[in-house]
Structure 1
Amino acid sequence: MVIIGTKCQIQQKVTEEVTAAAVGSGLLPVFGTPFMAAMMECAAMTCLQEFLEEGQGSVGTHLDITHDAPTPIGMTVTVEAEIRDVSENGKMVVFDVRAWDEKGPIGKGFHTRAIINNERFLSKCNAKLEG
């Protein structure tokens, strides 16, 4: 059973490889929004993982975030995901997500993940390759 209030944090040092300029989402050497979004999804996935049964996984279905402040190369970004809500059938999980660096908040929002059966999900996905 997924427990509301469960939290998970992850960190990443900002290097040239995770800048807006490197990913093409901007031209400046600052922490890129796509990398912040990926960190938010990763924190949520990691948070949910302990509640999953053998053969289950989770996939992101919605991400609604703001990136409110820049972070330069050399600083560390911390992201936290906290389980806020679980659907009645227990398959959809909503997370509050937030990000900050050593100087304060840089982003926030919410993220939804669906709990899936890995084998069934991959089978459905790979069926797209057939005729």
Structure 2
Amino acid sequence: MEERSSQQALNRVFNLLKFTFVIVPIVAGADKFTNLLTHWDQYLNPAIASLLPFPAATFMMIVGVIEIIAGIVVLKNAEIGGYIVAAWLTSIALTLLLGFIYIDVAVRDLVMAISAFSMAKISRIVS
């Protein structure tokens, strides 16, 4: 009985993480086209922005498409999607840390990356 209860609790945690990492990347990705939540290009490391052959806003739209795809991948396959989202969030955090800008956002993204990685690992147990 206790084992079943533990499995149910694990399933609830997994589903919470899964739907978080479906919804958040899709919403954030879509917002790269509207900038309703924030002006996303401000989070781009200036050193990276200076290397781009196009405006930062265009780059952020490309990022938005990638994030939407990542959210869909999580929906279809939480393990693979979780690893993709974890890697993506880690890379974003590292670019912010390297530019020493928005350190609070970088730390938040690293925590979210750990959560996405954990979801990917848990998916092997609950699937």
TM class, shorter-chain normalised?
under 0.3
- More strand as a share of residues: 1
- More helix as a share of residues: 2
